[in-house]
Amino acid sequence: MELADMAKRIVDDHFAGREELREKLNALGVTRRHLTELFEKKYDLTLEQYVAQVRLRRAKELLDEGSRITDAAFAVGMESSASFSTFFKKLEGITPSEYAAQRASKRPCCFCETPLGLVRIAEDNQGISLLKFTDSVPDPMQAGQKGLYLADAEKQILEYFAGKRRTFDIPLSIRGSEFQETVWNALRTIPYGETRSYQQVAQMIGNGKASRAVGMANNRNPILIMIPCHRVVGKDGKLVGYAGGIERKERLLELEREAEK
Report d(CA 25, CA 30) in Å as an integer. 9
What's the CA gap between 204 and 142, in Å, rounded? Answer: 38
pLDDT, position 152: 95
**Mean of pLDDT values over 208-230:** 90
Give the least confident one: 12-16, 52-56, 196-200.
12-16
Residue 28: pLDDT over 60:
yes
**Cα separation, 28 vs 112, whole angstroms:** 60
229 is catalytic: yes
In whole angstroms, give the CA distance from residue 261 to residue 30: 79
Which of 37 and 233 is assigned the larger pLDDT? 233
C-alpha span between 32 and 38 (Å, rounded): 10
Residue of 161, 166, 165, 164 whose CA lies nearest to 114: 161
Q: What is the mean pLDDT of residues 199-217?
A: 90
What is the pTM (predicted TM-score) of this model? Answer: 0.66
Q: What is the mean pLDDT of the chain?
A: 83
**pLDDT classification of 144: cutoffs 50, 70, 90:** low
Most confident among 14-23, 126-135, 168-177, 180-189 (mean pLDDT): 180-189
CA within 13 Å, CB half, 96: 29
User: Would the pLDDT of 86 be above 70?
Assistant: yes
Number of helices (H), then strands (E), in the chain: 13, 5
Across the range 17-45, mean pLDDT stands at: 68
Average pLDDT over residues 177-182: 86
Top mean-pLDDT range of 3-17, 19-33, 223-237:
223-237
Considering only CA atoms, which of 208, 166, 170 is closest in space to residue 186?
208
What is the rounded distance in angstroms from the CA atom of residue 135 to the CA atom of residue 95?
A: 27
Q: Which residue has the higher pLDDT, 196 or 243?
A: 196
- Are 125 and 82 in contact by the 8 Å Cβ rule? The answer is no
Model pLDDT, residue 137 = 63
- The closest of 60, 28, 74 to 47, measured between CA atoms, is 28
